[in-house]
């Protein structure tokens, strides 16, 4: 890399450092200048600063490439969050299984993604002057990206803490949080992040410190941001560990109950107390397993987000501490080696990246944290997704399809030449169905005169008020003779005859079926007419008589019957 040209602000500082006293003490983030005194012994020695942005002097160009990758990952995350939110809004609750804890968690996740996407779209100027980065007061892009990032981080931790408490109450204490918990969670889940966000923006602020987006400044950041953030994450982790410990305890009690039950059964009968204890352990085990099966997605979300937040906080706190040591003149030997490399190379940063990677947070670590933070939203949305959501969209699109109903159209309807769109082969087709004259709406008079099998003469209908159903009914009863149905209404079953096949012959001559008395009876042992037992097998036995009762003892199987004899 070519040596950078000499700047008029270099002063007494070696290349490529710039003298801080030659720049104004206002505008941009003064505290985030990467400056150090030229001499540690001479208090009057000027302070020299690295040119802005400092990231380009500490990390190779591949760092910027990976940062762009993280920003584009957030574009995909925002798309998935948007689709999931639309599904929650449009589809029924049976398809999405939406819950206010899930919806409330999607909002801060979307805010984090916006914190990465805004700089990607705007491509802001990260420096106020040659040594001073822009902050939220000098760059509107910095203000919005930093606000979305901080608000999303605090909101995510707050809602995963609420979710951890919710699952702890359900699993451990067998309490189903109701309306009171809902309102309390809304107040705490949004109220506490709002208070912490206001305090962070007011006291600490954000500026371009790493990459293309604005991060929280170092001053008072532990007290107003990192401390509460790690505190909520710790509380959620404690609740989660307590829930896991309870589940493990229930499993062990269930295992020991089965073991003791098998031991008692092998030795002697179990006591009532032991049996009751075993049933109680099994009931608790079944309840816990059922709740775990329903809440495993929420538990996975809590664990994943807690790990992301803790890793993000640890890395940035380490960055703050490293920068503080350098600016206060407390840098170690590795930092001095890197400074001497920059000075001796005349500002050729490519020769000193390896030395910078030894005292700064390693590039691979920062890239891993950025990518992990970018895909945390994808992880949460993947756990919140259900196959029923795709099925719900499929059914919704099917209902909205205007061509889904393919109604049957009769052939007669297509033969009308005046109908538009008549197929050519059907134009010459002539229907044999006679055309029907237009009919008027049915009235009581038409029904009485036409609808009856025996039409009522018109003279009987004179003076009848057809608007009154009672009078119409009276006229019908007094004028219509009640007869039995004609033969045309007779059931065809009565005329069924069988000629060697099982197919009924409805259109042949009818045959009358006569009742044939059975030769034997298998009823209770009661002879017909009070006769003897030997009279049961007589040919005049009639099952239609009330006394037709008998049994197998009165009717022994016939030796000649092959079906019966074969089973004896």
What are the residues facing 124 on neighbouring strands?
A: none
How many angstroms separate the CA atoms of 406 and 408, rounded? 7
Structure-token pair, residue 84? 């999931």
User: Among 319, 107, 284, 115, which Cα is nearest to 210's?
Assistant: 319
> How confident is the model at residue 66, as a pLDDT?
92
Query: Between residues 323 and 99, which one has the greater pLDDT?
Result: 99
Report whether pLDDT(118) > 90: yes
User: Among 444, 441, 452, which Cα is nearest to 468's?
Assistant: 444
Minimum mean pLDDT among 97-101, 413-417, 562-566: which range?
A: 562-566
Query: Between residues 93 and 510, which one has the greater pLDDT?
Result: 93
> How confident is the model at residue 548, as a pLDDT?
46
Tell me if the pTM is above 0.85: no
Domains and CATH numbers, the chain: 61-258+278-331+359-393 (1.20.1070.10)
> How confident is the model at residue 498, as a pLDDT?
44
- Residues 458-488 have pLDDT tens digits of 555 555 555 555 555 555 555 554 455 554 4
> How confident is the model at residue 463, as a pLDDT?
57
Minimum mean pLDDT among 96-100, 304-308, 312-316, 476-480: which range?
A: 476-480
Burial of 537 (0-12, 13-18, 19+ CB in 10 A): middle
> How confident is the model at residue 550, as a pLDDT?
43
What lies within 8 Å, CB to CB, of 525 at 6+ separation is 533, 549, 550, 551, 553, 554
Structure-token pair, residue 462? 């004179």
**Range with the largest mean pLDDT of 235-239, 256-260, 500-504, 542-546:** 235-239
User: Among 171, 172, 166, 384, which Cα is nearest to 290's?
Assistant: 171
Which helix or strand (DSSP H or E) is residue 524 part of? Answer: none
Structure-token pair, residue 457? 């003469």
């Amino acid at each position: 890399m070519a040596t950078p040209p000499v700047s008029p602000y270099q002063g007494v500082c070696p290349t490529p450092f710039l003298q801080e006293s030659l720049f104004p003490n206002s505008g941009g983030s003064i505290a985030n200048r990467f400056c150090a005194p030229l001499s540690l012994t001479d208090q009057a020695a000027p302070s020299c600063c690295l040119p802005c942005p400092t990231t380009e002097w500490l990390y190779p160009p591949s760092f910027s490439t990976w940062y762009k990758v993280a920003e584009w990952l957030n574009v995909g995350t925002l798309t998935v969050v948007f689709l999931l939110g639309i599904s929650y809004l449009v589809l029924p609750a049976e398809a999405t299984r939406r819950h206010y804890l899930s919806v409330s968690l999607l909002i801060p996740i979307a805010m984090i993604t916006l914190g990465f996407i805004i700089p990607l779209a705007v491509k802001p100027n990260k420096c106020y002057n040659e040594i001073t980065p822009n902050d939220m007061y000098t760059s509107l892009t910095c203000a919005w990206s930093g606000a979305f990032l901080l608000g999303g981080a605090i909101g995510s931790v707050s809602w995963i803490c609420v979710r951890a408490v919710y699952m702890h109450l359900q699993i451990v204490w067998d309490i189903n949080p109701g309306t009171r918990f809902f309102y309390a969670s809304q107040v705490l889940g949004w109220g506490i992040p709002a208070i912490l966000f206001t305090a962070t923006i007011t006291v600490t602020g954000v500026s371009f410190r790493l990459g293309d987006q604005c991060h929280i400044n170092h001053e008072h950041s532990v007290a107003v941001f990192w401390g509460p953030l790690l505190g909520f994450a710790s509380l959620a982790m404690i609740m989660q560990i307590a829930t896991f410990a309870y589940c493990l305890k229930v499993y062990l009690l269930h295992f020991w109950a089965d073991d003791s039950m098998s031991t008692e059964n092998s030795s002697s009968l179990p006591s009532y107390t032991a049996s009751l204890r075993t049933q109680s352990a099994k009931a608790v085990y079944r309840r816990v397993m059922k709740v775990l099966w329903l809440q495993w997605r929420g538990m996975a979300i809590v664990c994943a987000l807690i790990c992301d937040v803790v890793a993000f906080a640890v890395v940035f706190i380490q960055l703050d501490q490293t920068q503080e040591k350098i600016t206060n003149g407390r840098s170690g030997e590795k930092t001095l080696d890197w400074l001497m490399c920059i000075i001796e190379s005349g500002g050729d940063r490519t020769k000193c990246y390896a030395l910078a990677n030894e005292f700064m947070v390693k590039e691979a670590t920062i890239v891993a944290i950025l990518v992990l933070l970018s895909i945390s939203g994808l992880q949460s949305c993947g756990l919140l997704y259900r196959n029923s959501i795709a099925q719900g969209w499929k059914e919704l699109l099917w209902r909205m399809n205007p061509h889904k109903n393919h109604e049957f159209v009769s052939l007669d309807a297509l033969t009308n030449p005046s109908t538009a769109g008549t197929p050519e082969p059907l134009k010459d087709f002539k229907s044999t169905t006679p055309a029907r004259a237009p009919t008027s709406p049915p009235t009581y008079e038409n029904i009485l005169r036409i609808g009856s099998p025996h039409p009522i003469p018109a003279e009987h209908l004179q003076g009848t008020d057809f608007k009154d159903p009672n009078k119409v009914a009276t006229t019908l009863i007094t004028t219509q003779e009640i007869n039995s149905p004609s033969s045309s209404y007779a059931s065809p079953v009565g005329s069924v005859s069988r000629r060697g096949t099982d197919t009924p012959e409805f259109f042949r001559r009818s045959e009358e079926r006569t009742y044939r008395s059975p030769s034997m009876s298998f009823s209770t042992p009661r002879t017909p007419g009070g006769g003897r037992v030997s009279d049961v097998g007589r040919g005049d036995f009639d099952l239609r008589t009330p006394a037709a009762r008998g049994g197998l003892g009165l009717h022994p199987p016939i030796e000649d019957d092959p079906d019966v004899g074969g089973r004896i």
